[in-house]
Amino acid sequence: LHAQDGIRDCTRSLVGSEMCIRDRVNDQYGHAFGDQVLQQASQILRDSVGTIDHLGRIGGEEFSVGAVAAEPNHGAELAMRIIRRFRTHPWSNLRPGLQITCSIGVAVLDPTRTAIRGISTLEELLDQADKVLYREKEKGRDGYAVFEPGPRPSFTKALGS
């Protein structure tokens, strides 16, 4: 994925998400139960992404979504949609009192503004989404953060702040 790939009229967002409780679930209830949680989380993610978006499991309980959209804020909107679905999912149907949260990092590649946006390759996009995901987790889970490139890169935290 490079800015020259011919997609000049749309923005590519990468949404990296990580469930925050699966390790505790595995320790408390076992790996078979953790797999049930993972299957339901995967379904939430599949139901949240668009038909042209790409969902993949990075490993463990980490997933990424490659989203192609006309609007740069699509990644943040997708992150909010995923978090809301995690919050409202009936996890307690699996175990009474069970709650599963996720943290999400969002980075955007805008092929029309690569010099301004600061990201021009898929590797840079993945790296920035991962960095902002871990920054979000350090500040408190169950929310998302967006990488804001520019002369002085910054992070915007929202929904769960």
Cβ(99)–Cβ(10) below 8 Å: no
CA 120 to chain centre: 19
Give dist(CA 111, CA 115) in Å, integer.
9
Task: Choose the catalytic residue: 18, 61, 124, 136.
Answer: 61
136: which 2 tokens? 């979000």
86: which 2 tokens? 């995690």
Give dist(CA 130, CA 119) in Å, integer.
13
CB-CB neighbours of 153 under 10 Å:
13
For residue 61, indicate whether it is catalytic.
Answer: yes
Cβ(132)–Cβ(155) below 8 Å: yes
Active-site residue set: 61
